[in-house]
Amino acid sequence: MHPLIMVSLALLIETVASDQPKQVLPGCNYTCGDLTIPYPFGIGNSTAQHHTPCYMDSKFELTCVNNSKLIRPRGIEVLDINPQGQVEMKFSVSHLCSNGSSSSNNTEEANRAYLIVSPHTISSTENKFITVGCDSYGYLNSNFTGGTYSTGCLTRCYDFKPKIVIGNNTGKCTGLGCCQVDIPSSMKNITIEAFKFPTSTLSKENSCSYSFIAKQGSYKFSVDHINNLPNETFPLVINWAITNESCQIAHTTNSYACKKNSECVDDDPDYDGYRCKCLQGFEGNPYLPGGCTDIDECATKTHVCKNKANCNNTLGSHTCFCPKGQTGNGTKEGGCQKVHLNATRIVLPTVLGAGALFMIFFLIYQRRKFIKLKEKFFRQNGGSILEQKLLQRKDSSQIAHIFKENELRKATNNFDESLIIGRGGFGTVFKGELDDNRIVAIKKSKTIDESQIEQFINEVDVVSQINHRNVVKLLGCCLETEVPLLVYEFVSNGTLSEFLRTQGKTNDLTWKTRLRIAVEVAGALSYLHSAASIPIIHRDVKSANILLDGTNTAKVSDFGASRLIPLDQTEVATMVQGTIGYLDPEYMQTSQLTEKSDVYSFGVVLVELLTGEKPFCFGRPEERRSLATHFLSCLKKDNVFEVIQDGLWNEENKQVIMEVAVLAANCLRLIGEERPSMKEVAMELEGMRLMDKHSWINADLNVEESPLLAS
pLDDT surpasses 90 at 240: yes
Beta strand extents in 50-126 (DSSP E only): 61-65, 69-71, 77-82, 86-92, 94-98, 107-110, 112-116, 121-122
The span from the CA of 544 to the CA of 557, in Å, is 9
The confidence score (pLDDT) of residue 624 equals 85
Which segment, 239-243, 333-337, 344-348, 591-595, is predicted with the most confidence on average? 239-243
Backbone phi, psi, residue 111, to 5°: -150, 165
335: left (phi over 0), alpha (psi -120 to 50) or beta: left
Q: Mean per-residue pLDDT for 466-477? A: 88
Instruction: Tell me which residue of 651, 656, 681 sits closest to 666, measured CA to CA.
Output: 681
637-660, pLDDT tens digit by residue? 999 898 999 888 888 889 999 999
The answer to whether 462 and 498 have CB atoms below 8 angstroms apart is no
**168 falls in which pLDDT band (50, 70, 90)?**
low
Reference 220, options 180, 182, 189, 257; nearest CA is: 180
Alpha-carbon distance of 550 to 490, in angstroms, equals 11
Tell which wins on pLDDT, 705 or 677.
677
Give start and end residues of each alpha helix (H) in 22-116. Answer: none
What pLDDT does 665 receive?
Answer: 95
Nearest to 579 by CA among 632, 543, 610: 543
Is the pLDDT reported for residue 162 higher than 60? no
Per mean pLDDT, which of 479-483, 652-656, 694-698 is the most reliable?
Answer: 652-656
Query: What is the DSSP code (8-state) at residue 93?
Result: P
Which comes out higher in pLDDT, residue 160 or 401? 401
**pLDDT, tens digit, 9 for 90 and up, residues 257-286:** 999 999 999 988 889 899 999 999 999 999
The CA-atom distances, in angstroms, between 387 and each of 181, 380, 559 are 71, 13, 21
Question: Which has more pLDDT, 576 or 487?
Answer: 487
pLDDT, mean over the chain: 82
**pLDDT tens-digit readout, 614-630:** 998 888 888 888 999 99
Amino acid at 398: Q
- DSSP secondary structure letter of residue 227: T
Give the whole-angstrom CA distance, residue 165 versus residue 533. 89
Average pLDDT value for residue range 473-477: 88
- Rg for the chain, CA atoms, rounded: 34
Kindly indicate the confidence band of residue 176, based on its pLDDT and cuts at 50, 70 and 90.
Answer: confident
Res 691: pLDDT: 67
pLDDT tens-digit series, residues 70-91? 998 878 899 999 988 999 999 9
Active site residues: 540
Tell whether 372 is in a known binding site: no
Say how far apart CA 583 and CA 544 lie, in whole Å. Answer: 14
Per residue in 208-218, pLDDT (tens digit) is 899 999 999 99
Q: What is the DSSP letter of 184?
A: P
Residue 205 banded pLDDT, cuts 50, 70, 90: low
Whole-angstrom distance, CA of residue 709 vs CA of residue 131: 59
pLDDT-based confidence at residue 509 (cuts at 50, 70, 90): low
- Alpha carbons 488 and 431: distance in angstroms, whole number: 10
In this prediction, residue 342 carries a pLDDT of 57
pLDDT band at 536 (very low <50, low <70, confident <90, very high): confident
* pLDDT (0 to 100) of residue 543: 93
Helix (H) or strand (E) holding 219: none
Return the beta strands (E) in 266-409 as ranges: 275-278, 282-283, 293-294, 311-314, 317-320, 326-328, 336-338, 401-402
Q: What is the pLDDT of residue 227?
A: 83
Cis geometry, peptide bond prior to residue 484 (ω within 30 degrees of 0) = no
pTM for this model (two decimals)? 0.47
pLDDT score of 201 more than 70: no
The crossing angle, in degrees rounded to 10, of helices 654-667 and 508-526 is 30
